[in-house]
Amino acid sequence: MRRSWVLSALPSVVVFIALLFAPLYLGPYNLMLSGRFLSLGILAMGIVLVWGYAGVLPLGQGVFFGLGGYALAMHLKLAALPAGELPDFMQWNGVEALPAWWKPFASPELALAAVVVVPGLVALALAWLVFRRRMTSVYIALITQALALAFATLLISRQGTTGGFNGLTDFQTLFGAPLGDERTRLWLHVATVGLAALAYFLARTLAATQAGRLVRAVRDGENRVRFLGYSPAPYKILVFVIAGVFAGLGGALHTLHAGVITPEAVGVVPSIYMVVWVAIGGRESLPGALVGTVLVNLAKDALSSAWPNAWPYLMGAVYIGVVRAMPRGLAGVVESAAAWLRRPRAAPAEPAVADLPADTEATSHG
């Protein structure tokens, strides 16, 4: 069991190493894109845990993305200032003194900690409320959606302290290193690939433990699990918190690569897009979610500048197509294809076991 698990991790190790060396074969613009999309991929893997494994549709991951992104962006704004001065947008809005809740972000250590701790704690508080009260997925989708709306509205309405609609941008240095510098870009790339790999292997390992099995068991038969003596809530809370931390981390990294964070990136619409990337990639597949996120965003980058108005329609059409034709996303298509290729040769040798993947599909609705 353990050996096959290590072996099956091999392709992903190769992919992450290839990504690590991307600066050798990608130009600066594409490197920036890869950094942005990998950051979003970290968030997408969190959605796999919550939606794919735990069966709870989260429609407000933008909130956690924003909490991580703004936490780092606040630090970057303060780090660029001469002592005693206020960030530019505060001066324009007539704010006289730095608000108390901005002050801790002057410290790089506190800001870095806040990138994971703040989204983690907010996710914990929310998950605690909804899962201990045994709310169903539909209500949780609505609540998280409402939270995304409230969060974006709050950011826009507090222009003097949040940068309002324009968000936070115009960053100069990261921990003393100039952000535009090629060396800084390189390290940022390495950190992004490293964190994406870390998130991937963490999620993968969790899924392989007995706890990961229980998460899926709760999705498929919450009452059966409860009446075997388990409390289902902690498993849902756990994956929701991990997804929140992943989203916060992705938000912070994305802010660094994109050089900006705005309410437009954290509200209702982006939160829905995040779920769509995962649906296209495969909601029960960590690599699928990563690939889906990168592909959709590449397509968006290529197409939406040419036809900005057509993009939402295209996205909607693709989403409907995926849900109708391939409910397990690209990952499901790849798995079915692999099973189909293996089938004729393996069938005589191991009759019962070789047939399993194909049969799963056929009986999963029965």
Partner 1 sequence: MAEPLLEIQDLHVTLDGFRALDGVSLKIYPRTARVIIGPNGAGKSTLLDTVIGRTRATRGRVVFRGQDVTRMPEHRIVRAGICRKFQTPGVLEQMTVDDNLAIAVRRNKRWWAHFRTGLDRAECARVDEVLGEIGMTAQRYRLAAELAHGEKQWLEIGMVLASDAELIMLDEPTSGMTPAETDRTAALMRRLAAHRTVVVIDHDMAFVEKLAAPITVLHMGRVLKHGTIGDLRDDPDVIAIYLGSARRSHAAG
Which C-beta is closer to partner 1: that of 214 or that of 299? Answer: 214
Write out the binding residues for partner 1, residues 177-206 only, by CB under 8 A: 206
**Position among 210, 306, 309, 345 found at the interface with partner 1 (CB under 8 A):** 210
Residues in the chain: 366
Judge whether 291 and 281 are in contact, CB under 8 Å. yes
User: Per rule CB under 8 A, is residue 18 in the interface with partner 1?
Assistant: no
**Position among 180, 221, 321, 327 found at the interface with partner 1 (CB under 8 A):** 221
**Position among 22, 217, 318, 334 found at the interface with partner 1 (CB under 8 A):** 217
Phi/psi region, residue 209 (left: phi>0; alpha: psi -120 to 50; beta: rest), is beta
Judge whether 45 and 283 are in contact, CB under 8 Å. no
Query: Nearest approach, Cβ of 314 to partner 1 (angstroms)?
Result: 33
CA dihedral 294, 192, 48, 3 (to 10 degrees): 110
Contacts of 206 (CB under 8 A, 6+ apart): 49, 212, 239, 242
CA distance 78 to 339: 54
User: Per rule CB under 8 A, is residue 211 in the interface with partner 1?
Assistant: yes
Strand 260-261 to 168-169 pairing:
antiparallel
Query: Nearest approach, Cβ of 282 to partner 1 (angstroms)?
Result: 15
Query: Nearest approach, Cβ of 360 to partner 1 (angstroms)?
Result: 6
Interacting span for partner 1 (CB under 8 A) from 112-120, 220-228, 301-309, 322-330: 220-228
CA distance 297 to 33: 9
Write out the binding residues for partner 1, residues 227-256 only, by CB under 8 A: 227-231, 234-235, 238
User: Per rule CB under 8 A, is residue 157 in the interface with partner 1?
Assistant: no
Interface residues with partner 1 (CB under 8 A)?
A: 1-2, 5, 206, 208-211, 213-214, 216-217, 220-221, 223-231, 234-235, 238, 352-353, 356, 359-360, 363-364, 366
